[in-house]
Amino acid sequence: MFARLAKAMRVKDVDAIDMGVYYEALGDYTLERVRDAALQWAQTGRFFPTTGEWATLVREMRDAVPVKAWTAHRTIACQECSDTGFSYRDCASGQRCGNPRCLDRGAEWTHVYVVRCACFTSEPV
């Protein structure tokens, strides 16, 4: 993570010693908090942060976090395909996929195949 942030911030000479110092200085914080602070700094900072600047930002962000954590809520319109546009089917005796090889293999042959869902109304771009 430090190397990616360093690259994003255009720092050229980050070595293992520097990363070790940052790891020790930020080790009291959770990885998620350190990562969130790094992303915030990458958007607003001009130079790679010092350990003190990074730790200060982690603490400031911790104090600003709402009590209830945000959770993503996704609404699915089509229960058949989960909005992917494709439905899975079982190719078995009585409902074949249409591939001639399936017919040649006999009634015991089964496999899963995909069809376009009824909710899919447009051509892919």
pLDDT (tens digit, 9 = 90+) per residue, 4-54? 555 554 555 566 667 778 888 888 888 888 888 888 888 887 888 888 888
Say whether pTM exceeds 0.85.
no
CB within 8 Å of 12: residues ≥ 6 apart: none
- Residue 111 pLDDT exceeds 60: yes
Q: Which domain holds residue 95?
A: 74-120
pLDDT at position 9, please?
47
Q: Which of 38, 64, 90 represents a domain boundary (last residue)?
A: 64
Do 90 and 51 reside in the same domain of the chain?
no
Least confident of 7-11, 62-66, 69-73: 7-11
- CA distances (Å), origin 116, targets 73, 93, 119, 123: 26, 21, 8, 11
d(CA 125, CA 113): 22
- Ranges of beta strands (E only) in the chain are 86-91, 111-116
